[in-house]
Amino acid sequence: MAVHIPYIDKPNPVTGVTNAKLGVWLFLASEVMLFGALFSALITLRLGVSDWPHGYDVLNVPLATLNTVVLIFSSVTVVMAWASLKMHNLKQFKTYMSLTLLMSFIFLGIKAVEYGTKFSHGISPATSNFYAIYFVITGLHGLHILGGIIVNAYLLGPGSHMWKSEPERFTGRIECAGLYWHFVDLVWIFLFPILYLL
Amino acid sequence: MASEHMSVEEVKKHIKVYWMIFGSLLVLTAVTVGISYIHLSFTFAVILALVVASTKASLVALYFMHLISEKTAIYLTLALTAVLFVILIVVPWMIPMGAMRSWLVS
């Protein structure tokens, strides 16, 4: 027998938001602690090691700048996908969600080029403390992009059938997926200057 | 107004804001990269980079994630998260430098 989960499309009278949305925010809070611990490790390493390289000397700043623009654009397209559903326009939603997915793949493609160049020069996480934390943080961020791609692709494809039967619930799902995607963008907004520009 | 209750007209107004925020984020990204080409002292460069990054992050959180008009339950969740995050960031500065260096070298 299916279990009915209350307040997944209507706001819970206690919190004022849907249970789904509060759940996503709690999940994002745990994500802040995950990345926060890694930022803490980065500071610890940087304070403790005397020969820390400048990111702009050893990493590809133009490619990372392009990736920043790509990710910022994907944040706009995912919020536009949600706004399209609020305006009852499924076709426009699909266009913006497709654009979001395209930007996600471009981001990962550019990251693969960056990683490939490093590996071809014999640089790996074992090379130094700097590269160890660089590969761990950007690798984990890349995995988050991959997770977002899977969720967004599902919502664009088979998941979008929910629009016909439960449009409000589907719009809520897109908002929750969007919150996650914006968080992934937020992490990159801090990673970019800290790793590449200082 | 919380995102669940927005009317079609309100969403249309928000769309203009989203694209304005996008433009602002692009400008701030250019500023971030530009700062790195100016040879500032390390401390000043870190402060400036973090100020610009925090401004960009605030724009994304306030407008794209709708935190500018969210409910108290969400604000309380984030307030607790922020406190714990600050503790995580402050901890490395409290470790004795000598002890940390010998640990990292060993």
- DSSP for chain A, written as a single string: -PPPPTTSSS--TTTSS-HHHHHHHHHHHHHHHHHHHHHHHHHHHHHH-S-PPPHHHHS-HHHHHHHHHHHHHHHHHHHHHHHHHHTT-HHHHHHHHHHHHHHHHHHHHHHHHHHHHHHHTT--TTS-HHHHHHHHHHHHHHHHHHHHHHHHHHHHTGGGGHHHH-HHHHHHHHHHHHHHHHHHHHHHHHHIIIIII-
Q: Would the CB atoms of B104 and A79 count as touching at under 8 Å?
A: no
Confidence of residue B104 (pLDDT cuts 50, 70, 90): low
- pLDDT tens digit sequence for A87-104: 999 999 999 999 999 999
Using CB atoms within 10 Å of the CB of residue A125, give its burial: 0 to 12 exposed, 13 to 18 middle, 19+ buried: middle
CATH of A19-197, one of 3.40.50.360, 1.20.120.80, 2.40.110.10, 1.10.150.530: 1.20.120.80
Q: What is the mean pLDDT of residues A37-53?
A: 89
- Would you say A126 and A164 are in contact if contact means Cβ atoms under 8 Å apart? no
pLDDT value of residue A196: 92
Q: Would the CB atoms of B60 and A16 count as touching at under 8 Å?
A: no
- From the CA of B47, how many Å to the nearest CA of chain A? 11
Q: Would the CB atoms of A26 and B77 count as touching at under 8 Å?
A: yes
The tokens for A171 are 């719009």
Q: Would the CB atoms of A17 and B2 count as touching at under 8 Å?
A: yes
* Contacting residues of A for B104, CB less than 8 Å apart: 45, 48-49, 129
Helix (H, G, I), strand (E, B) or coil at B65: coil
Q: Would the CB atoms of B15 and A80 count as touching at under 8 Å?
A: yes
Q: Where are the domains of chain B?
A: 1-70, 71-106
Of A29, A49, A193, the CB nearest to B53: A193
* Contacting residues of B for A189, CB less than 8 Å apart: 53, 56-57, 60
Of B53, B61, B81, the CB nearest to A190: B53
ipTM of the complex: 0.91
* Contacting residues of A for B50, CB less than 8 Å apart: 193
B26 has a pLDDT exceeding 90: yes
Q: Which residue has the tokens 């919502």?
A: A155
Identify the weakest region by mean pLDDT among A31-35, A104-108, B25-29, B92-96. B92-96
Confidence of residue A158 (pLDDT cuts 50, 70, 90): very high
Helices (H), B1-106: 8-37, 42-59, 72-94, 97-105
Q: What is the mean pLDDT of residues A8-19?
A: 88
Tell which of A86, A89, A128, A195 to mutate to test the B interface (max B CBs under 10 Å).
A86
The tokens for B61 are 């959180």
Amino acid type, A162: M
d(CA A154, CA A148): 10
Q: Where are the domains of chain A?
A: 19-197
Q: What is the mean pLDDT of residues A66-76?
A: 97
Q: What is the mean pLDDT of residues B1-22?
A: 85
Confidence of residue B19 (pLDDT cuts 50, 70, 90): very high
B106 has a pLDDT exceeding 80: no
